[in-house]
Chains A and B, each alone.
Chain A
């Protein structure tokens, strides 16, 4: 019978080897996501500062780069990175190519989140800092950034969830992450649905926990600092 609840069809999930394989996949997924997340924070913050610069020669290239990357599909960027490396006979390990593609895309999105956070600080704050005689660096360090960072946390977490989901795309260029491990299991046992649902549930548990955590932080922040929220465009919806 085609019953989805037939215990026989879930039997691969009773094997230790299945969970070992899924575990190895999950570890790789988390490693690639963590690497890409850290690099994207650094490059994203840098790009945001370049875009906020008043010097045209710095500002316009940053705008062009950010908007160009954000307008392209993340899977396209992963492919383009991977095939370009192949074309120039760069023997990048798959995980490096995957993390690089994900970092390029995520940096552009993070740049917009950071920029939105900084520009959301009221002009009055800047004026007050100036009136107190703070230097630009001191103003950034003690006035702007502490407030902006708080506001950036929810959109950054939501982008982290997107990034975790996007690591599954690296399975297409052969990264043996969670989805690939699931794929290998069901091509062996021949019953995709049960394994795919298991993989989906693993992603769900991680991402749902992250989003709950972020919401809790946000509620705590709202109680201290009501009414202000930044909502950078599109971050919630990327792949």
Chain B
């Protein structure tokens, strides 16, 4: 275990970068994805079509290819992003396509009857949103968004391909230096589990609570 003990600071630095990547790209994904999701249900011609094209393109192409486009491709049109930023943009935009679908489904799941009922009770538009639509949409979207966040946390490992010093990247570095493959990869796995298992328990908890709430 010397190989791991001696290099633990490096692996923990990688863990920190992984967490930063996950948080920053999740924020980007939620902001862009919510916007695109709302655009997809606008009662307008053509514009929702752009939203659909955005979603289909970004979720049907590999994240690694997208990351290469942001990092290696954009300098060709005069835009150079540093690796960390390119990784955040790639992860955020990729995930936003999935967020958009969740948001769209959440909005569309609120039945027409709910809106009619709210109006016939004399609620204003804001009251309808605040007390009728949003609480229900929230209950519907939170568990799938939680699952997307878990997938995103795992996907941060792909940033290692453009030499962002994340957990997997540092694991490779330590492995190359020490050849202690078994110990190094077990440690890296445990550090990933430290992130994903609590998230998964959190999502399960929310799912149960929100199902109860909806009844």
Contacts and interface: CB of A to CB of B under 8 A. Distances in A.
A169 B193 contact: no
A87 B168 contact: no
Given A2-B77, A71-B197, A234-B150, A76 B68 contact: no
Contacts of A199: 65
A59 interface: no
A4 interface: yes
A201 to B, nearest CB: 8
Interface string A174-213: 0000010001001000011110110110011001100100
Contact of B73 (A192, A234, A238): A192
Nearest to A187: B72
A185 to B, nearest CB: 12
Given A76-B168, A79-B172, A161-B60, A200 B160 contact: no
A128 interface: no
Interface in A69-102: 71-76, 79-80, 83-84, 86-87
B161 A72 contact: no
Q: Interface on chain B toward A: helix, strand, loop, or mixed SS?
A: helix
Contact of A165 (B62, B69, B101, B188): B62
Nearest to A165: B62
Nearest to A234: B147
Interface string B45-82: 00000000000110011111110110011111110000
A75 B57 CA distance: 22
B72 A87 contact: no
A87 B182 contact: yes
Nearest to A206: B60
Interface stretch (B1-9, B119-127, B151-159): B151-159
B84 interface: no
B185 interface: yes
B205 interface: no
Interface in A1-41: 2, 4, 9
A193 B64 contact: no
Interface string B131-173: 0000000000001100110111011111011000000100110
Contacts of A179: 62, 64-65, 68
Contacts of B150: 234
A180 B130 CA distance: 51
A196 B189 contact: no
A86 B181 contact: yes
Given A86-B181, A192-B72, A165 B63 contact: yes
A233 interface: yes
B200 A73 contact: no
A236 interface: yes
Given A71-B197, A193-B73, A83 B181 contact: yes
Given A75-B158, A80-B189, A193 B77 contact: yes
Contact of B192 (A4, A72, A233): A72
A120 B73 CA distance: 45
Contacts of A168: 62, 64-65
Nearest to B18: A73
Interface of A: 2, 4, 9, 68, 71-76, 79-80, 83-84, 86-87, 161, 165-166, 168-169, 171-172, 179, 183, 186, 191-194, 196-197, 199-200, 203-204, 207-208, 211, 233-234, 236-239
10 contacts: A2-B77, A2-B78, A75-B157, A79-B172, A84-B181, A165-B61, A169-B158, A203-B65, A204-B56, A233-B143
Interface of B: 56-57, 60-66, 68-69, 72-78, 95, 98, 101, 143-144, 147-148, 150-152, 154-158, 160-161, 168, 171-172, 175, 179, 181-182, 185, 188-189, 192-193, 196-197, 200, 203
